[in-house]
Structure 1
Amino acid sequence: MGQKRGLNKETILSAALLITESEGFENLSLQNLAAALEVKPPSLYNHVAGLDDIRVQVAQSALEQMEKSIRDRVVGRSHEKAIREIAAAYRDFARKHPQLYKVLSIIARIDDGELRETAHSLQNTFRRILEPYRLIPRDETHFIRFMRSSLHGFVSLEAMGFFRHGRGVNKDLSFIEMTNMFIDILKSYTNRKHP
């Protein structure tokens, strides 16, 4: 990459993200990061605390990118349109950045305040799209977990190569129908609660 002269936290993170996207998070090491930046591994310690620090930064960046891509898609939309957009944005991010999406699975195990704050921001985006349905906090949490579990399950199975053979049923149509089913269940539930 030829970034030796401009070595700083930003160039290190940029290189770490490139390695993660091209080789996978599990292959991110101080050795290959230093090689990509054309420096010796000890030079990295002038800017980062170590590999764990770099991994937290990569996870933070991945989460921020996903949160922004989802937030941008739902701005100005509400009710069913917002739900469909958040579902599509979630899947689009997972398909465009499969390795960064995998990084998100470790976030719950990392004790980092900034990371928790960004995760909370993503959670709030889900909460905002459910506000028009007037759910009590407990039920709102249930539906957020329901939606995120459905989305994560679909995109994870899709990434593993499933859904290629489904009796002629297009997987994109299945994704749309899954989202429609979520909306139908949500509307049915709220109609019972608020007739």
Structure 2
Amino acid sequence: MSPRVGLEKKVILKAAADIANTDGIDSLTITTLAVKLNIKPPSLYNHVKNLHDLRKQLAVYGLEQLYFTLNESIEGLKGDKAVKALAWAYVTFVRTHPGLYSISLSAPDPEDKTLYEAGERVVTLALEALEPFEFEKEEALHVVRGLRSILHGFASLEQNGGFGLNLSTDESMSLLLDAYLLGIHTKQNHC
């Protein structure tokens, strides 16, 4: 059976992302995706092996979309400005693509080259944003882990209604980034 004309991988992944973003990743099944695409479920098996394969492809797609978003945000920026732009782009991505972000969260399996490389591109981009701080490679990776932890924690709390006080989450985010950058500068001055 040949693939349906007009049904491309990108169309399938965009529709899968829409379901995940709107209804949550657990709502994404072969059937719900087929309904969204207005096709019969068996037609999807020309493009994906099974639900696990679909979710893996969606995780790669999510990491690619995150990379493009972050890359665009820091274009032409360095140092503090690049870190802040990257951080805001990250949190905005989670706000607008919660399901896609959720599926792309886990550390990629080094045995799965496609997923691993997609994740590595995001890490490399964060390392490039931090280049002006002149950290040694291993230290820079720790700093990226710290930034990712801060951003993921903030975005996850916000996404799950964890900020119940009537205060601007954007202002909280700004203060958090300022404190993080102050810590980086303080560490630089003591090396």
Whether TM exceeds 0.5 here: the answer is yes
Alignment of 1:15-26 (within 5 A): 15-26=15-26
Q: Secondary structure at the match of 1:116?
A: helix
Q: Percent identity?
A: 34
**Deviation by residue 1:10-55 (Cα, 9 ceiling, x = unmatched):** 3322322222222211111112222223333222222221111211
**Deviating 4+ runs (over 4 angstroms):** none
**Aligned-residue CA RMSD (Å):** 1.9
Q: Secondary structure at the match of 2:53?
A: helix
Shift of 1:104: 1.9
Q: Distance in 2 between matches of 1:111 and 1:35?
A: 33
Q: Which residue of 1 aligns with 2:175?
A: 177
Q: Distance in 1 between matches of 2:38 and 2:74?
A: 41
Shift of 1:169: 4.3
Which moved further from structure 2: 29-38 or 62-71? 29-38
User: CA 1:100/1:47 → structure 2, altered by over 3 Å: closer, same or farther?
Assistant: closer
Letter in structure 1 aligned against 2:40: K
Greater C-alpha Rg: 1
Letter in structure 1 aligned against 2:180: F
Asked if 2 retains the 8 angstrom alpha-carbon contact of 1:73 and 1:89, the reply is yes
Q: Distance in 2 between matches of 1:181 and 1:162?
A: 21
Q: Which residue of 2 aligns with 1:65?
A: 65
Give unpaired runs (5+ residues) of structure 2.
Answer: none
Q: In the comparison of the two structures, how many residue pairs are matched? A: 188
Q: Distance in 1 between matches of 2:68 and 2:45?
A: 30
User: CA 1:67/1:10 → structure 2, altered by over 3 Å: closer, same or farther?
Assistant: closer
Asked if 2 retains the 8 angstrom alpha-carbon contact of 1:66 and 1:93, the reply is yes
Q: Distance in 1 between matches of 2:52 and 2:167?
A: 43
Q: Distance in 1 between matches of 2:118 and 2:144?
A: 16
Q: Distance in 2 between matches of 1:178 and 1:9?
A: 39
User: CA 1:128/1:13 → structure 2, altered by over 3 Å: closer, same or farther?
Assistant: same
Matched, 1:188 2:151: no
TM-score by length of 2: 0.90
Matched, 1:30 2:16: no
User: CA 1:152/1:39 → structure 2, altered by over 3 Å: closer, same or farther?
Assistant: same
Alignment of 1:1-16 (within 5 A): 6-16=6-16
Q: Which residue of 2 aligns with 1:42?
A: 42
